[in-house]
Chains A and B, each alone.
Chain A
């Protein structure tokens, strides 16, 4: 089931009665979610990603715009008639019911032709429980389960109705680091097995990048970029997206372009571009540096962190926006930690220019 969002906008009235005004939580969001894909809505808190999810679920009504499931316009349809499964950040399991009762609860509301017998409900609940591998916990109460198990129960409960669309609100944020890794694989597996179009919301870029077919990066209600995780990482449209994706984060410098040469401080890091003369913001991914004795970029060495596979070099440069520059170098290189300065050359495909004012990407070619 593809999901189409058309000029979706949500405006909340201002909470403060004395201050007139409104908050645009989601601004003109248009996107077609392909059938059977896993989509990550990504952004810092307050960027409108949860609001978008709630609008798809029908729990919130869009101020304007339309939502289609397949070819059906569901914008005016109430939540229960949309055929969605929703998993909440805190799982929202009914604490007084057993796992089995929790999973069966959505089925008990089916009316008319869809009405199921007790045996059918039980069978459906067990199928859903097997899918998320909790079929041996059916008689426990939620309080007797670990966070990861509760999460699975919540997913089973969302899946038991065989929804057309599965929505997950920050599904991993309440789990510890190890469980998070495991559970995100699990979500990926379940999504692949069921083939249900899934949208999930997260503020953790690593989480979104690792399992999504596509990610949508949002900021203050406005979609910044949509694409495959690797494409968005490799080709950010603006400084915000470049900064938001990647750990360690991208290194940002103030610089300028003169006669086609890009300068960081006095160092001419890239020459022969077709960019006109102006002030720019320069972004270089940590893996975009290469140690080079004759390299153009000179930095003061702070320290070297060995991480086994890679070495992370922490250095400083006056033009850097962040206090330190972090570069990741293959550990095959022998690094002399006693030197005071390191020199880098940069890999062009990890090197981005942004407009100083708009922070939009400046695309360039090197002659």
Chain B
């Protein structure tokens, strides 16, 4: 067979050709994907970049009609000024108090009610749970008015209580944790029952450790929520002693003539965002897990 060698070579040539063609296609797809991702990343990151460079500019440079993309003189002093002008220390403390207390209480309520809905048998359980879920369909902002009239009647204006109590019960977290609890096999509960474990001990020793990732997610989300809350604190607790961080930022930098010192305000914003940034970078695994597990916004 004289041309057998020849045929093999032809075949090999085809393979090499096909291989290089595939390589080109793959490369092209990859370039497109990365170009898209870079474009999206720029869109997302640009405001942060703008915040940081603005916080380093002088007020004059900030007001220039043609904006600069890099500060001519780097004003690190803006940060020190931000801290003192806005009384940031006080704002931080207020926010931490509200954040920590509301998170702790909220966790207790969430764990107990999730356990009840997941494991206990009582009359009207399904109905009650459906009613709770139904409240999720009402946008949170709609509660503002009724909540406002309620807390004024209670005389809670300008207290920590008014910042903490109205948001202790989160249907979403209860739902999230209940789903998590329901995935724990019922046999574990029965086994614990056989051994004489009380419900509370079982909850604490078995369910809570098993649902820890979800609980961490809830903690983070709740803390972030407290940190970011704006409308409600602005309405009900806007005195110096209880003001929360977001509101502090809004008001502190306006001078008597109504002028706002934007670079200093931006410096304050950068300072306030930093903790959230760190939380996100180090704990994003839990945040993502918490949000993606239920397929609903966090």
Binding site for B on A (CB under 8 A): 57-59, 79-81, 84-86, 88-90, 92, 94-96, 105-106, 109-110, 157, 161
Instruction: From B188, B194, B205, name the one whose CB has the most chain A CB atoms within 10 angstroms.
Output: B194
B195 near A92: Cβ-Cβ < 8 Å: no
Which listed residue, A59, A84, A89, A109, touches B197 by the CB 8 Å rule? Answer: A109
A92 with B196, Cβ < 8 A, contacts A59-B190, A86-B191 known: no
Q: Can you name 5 A-B residue pairings with CB atoms under 8 Å?
A: A59-B193, A86-B194, A92-B188, A94-B205, A105-B195
Give the tally of cross-chain contacts (CB within 8 A). 51
B190 near A92: Cβ-Cβ < 8 Å: yes
B136 to chain A: which residues have CB within 8 Å?
none
B206 to chain A: which residues have CB within 8 Å?
94, 96
A106 with B196, Cβ < 8 A, contacts A59-B190, A90-B185 known: yes
With the chains together, A39 CA to B209 CA distance in Å?
37
A59 near B194: Cβ-Cβ < 8 Å: yes
A92 to chain B: which residues have CB within 8 Å?
185, 187-188, 190-191
A96 with B209, Cβ < 8 A, contacts A80-B195, A86-B194 known: yes
Expressed in whole angstroms, the minimum distance between the Cβ of A81 and any Cβ of chain B is 8
With the chains together, A29 CA to B172 CA distance in Å?
47
Find residues 177-212 in chain B having any chain A CB closer than 8 Å to their own CB: 185, 187-188, 190-197, 201, 205-206, 209-210
Given contacts A57-B194, A79-B196, A90-B187, 11 further A-B contacts (CB under 8 A): A84-B194, A85-B194, A88-B191, A92-B187, A92-B190, A92-B191, A94-B205, A105-B197, A106-B194, A109-B197, A110-B196
A96 to chain B: which residues have CB within 8 Å?
206, 209-210
Top 5 closest A-B pairs, CB basis?
Answer: A80-B196, A92-B187, A106-B195, A92-B191, A109-B196
Minimum CB distance partner of A109 in chain B: B196
Minimum CB distance partner of A87 in chain B: B191
Tell me what chain B mostly uses at the interface: helix, strand, loop, or mixed. helix
A79 with B193, Cβ < 8 A, contacts A94-B206, A95-B210, A96-B210 known: yes
Binding site for A on B (CB under 8 A): 185, 187-188, 190-197, 201, 205-206, 209-210
Minimum CB distance partner of B209 in chain A: A96
A88 near B195: Cβ-Cβ < 8 Å: no
Which listed residue, A81, A88, A109, touches B190 by the CB 8 Å rule? Answer: A88
With the chains together, A95 CA to B183 CA distance in Å?
13
With the chains together, A88 CA to B190 CA distance in Å?
9
With the chains together, A88 CA to B93 CA distance in Å?
51
Expressed in whole angstroms, the minimum distance between the Cβ of B231 and any Cβ of chain A is 40
Minimum CB distance partner of A111 in chain B: B196
A161 near B188: Cβ-Cβ < 8 Å: no
B194 near A80: Cβ-Cβ < 8 Å: yes
Minimum CB distance partner of A58 in chain B: B194
A105 to chain B: which residues have CB within 8 Å?
192, 195, 197, 205
With the chains together, A105 CA to B195 CA distance in Å?
8
With the chains together, A110 CA to B195 CA distance in Å?
9
With the chains together, A79 CA to B201 CA distance in Å?
16
A86 to chain B: which residues have CB within 8 Å?
190-191, 194
Minimum CB distance partner of A91 in chain B: B187
A161 with B190, Cβ < 8 A, contacts A90-B185, A96-B210 known: no
With the chains together, A44 CA to B190 CA distance in Å?
23
Expressed in whole angstroms, the minimum distance between the Cβ of B197 and any Cβ of chain A is 5
B187 to chain A: which residues have CB within 8 Å?
88-90, 92
B191 to chain A: which residues have CB within 8 Å?
86, 88, 92, 157
B209 to chain A: which residues have CB within 8 Å?
96
